């Protein structure tokens, strides 16, 4: 398990990263990538969407271009403070401080559960994916964006020491164990690293 796959260490990490997150994040998770990911799912104006690990709200901004019913959840109070600075406490997004492994929502609550740049910090990703499946409607979808496993053995060693990186085979195993009936994978990334991220769209039924 990587050093940041620990909730306390991750919260401390984001306490400081939140100050520069929106600047640093653009090197790994661009507006173009966000658009590509959103093109993989159909979001209707009346859809209710949950953004798990919403951070400062980068993906949330994109989701709001499709529906006004967006809910953001993050375990970091500092990231949520940045998000509420953007959207306000009475704005279009309802924010919750919570844990991906114990989502504070009823079964079948959302048409889409979205998570980008968060799964790599989950100590128990299968439990969190099972929670995503629980709260999404039977005819809905779950979209997860995570870091693709690097090809270089040196970077693989470094990646494994920090957080969760995975390849398609590992994603297959996790989503299968979490109970999803079907799923598909897509690679994406900025021009200098077009396979930086692995995006999975999964369907509960």
Domains of the chain: 7-20+46-182 (3.40.50.150)
Contacts of 16 (CB under 8 A, 6+ apart): none
Q: Is the pTM of this model over 0.85?
A: no
pLDDT of residue 25: 55
Tell me the pLDDT tens digit for each residue of 11-22: 554 443 445 445
Q: For residue 103, what is the DSSP state?
A: -
Q: Evaluate if residue 110 carries a pLDDT over 70.
A: yes
Choose between 10 and 70: higher pLDDT. 70
pLDDT exceeds 80 at position 155: no
Only one residue has tokens 């690990």, namely 53
Backbone conformation region of residue 179, classed left if phi is above 0, alpha if psi is from -120 to 50, else beta = left
Note the pLDDT of residue 156. Answer: 38
């Amino acid at each position: 398990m990587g050093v940041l796959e620990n909730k306390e260490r991750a919260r401390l990490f984001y306490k400081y990263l939140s100050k520069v997150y929106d600047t640093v994040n653009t090197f790994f998770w661009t507006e173009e990538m966000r658009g590509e990911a959103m093109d993989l799912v159909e979001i209707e104006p009346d859809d209710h969407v949950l953004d798990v690990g919403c951070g400062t709200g980068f993906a949330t901004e994109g989701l709001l271009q499709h529906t006004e019913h967006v809910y953001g959840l993050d375990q970091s109070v500092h990231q949520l403070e940045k998000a509420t600075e953007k959207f306000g406490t009475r704005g279009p997004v309802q924010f919750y401080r919570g844990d991906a492994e114990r989502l504070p929502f009823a079964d079948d609550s959302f048409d889409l559960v979205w998570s980008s740049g968060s799964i790599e910090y989950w100590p128990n990703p299968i439990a969190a994916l099972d929670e995503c499946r629980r709260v999404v409607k039977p005819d809905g979808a779950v979209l997860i964006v995570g870091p693709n496993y690097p090809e270089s053995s040196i970077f693989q060693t470094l990646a494994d020491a920090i957080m969760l990186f995975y390849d398609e085979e590992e994603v297959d195993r996790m989503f299968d164990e979490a109970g999803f009936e079907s799923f598909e994978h897509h690679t994406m990334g900025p021009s200098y690293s077009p396979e930086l991220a692995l995006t999975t769209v999964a369907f509960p039924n």
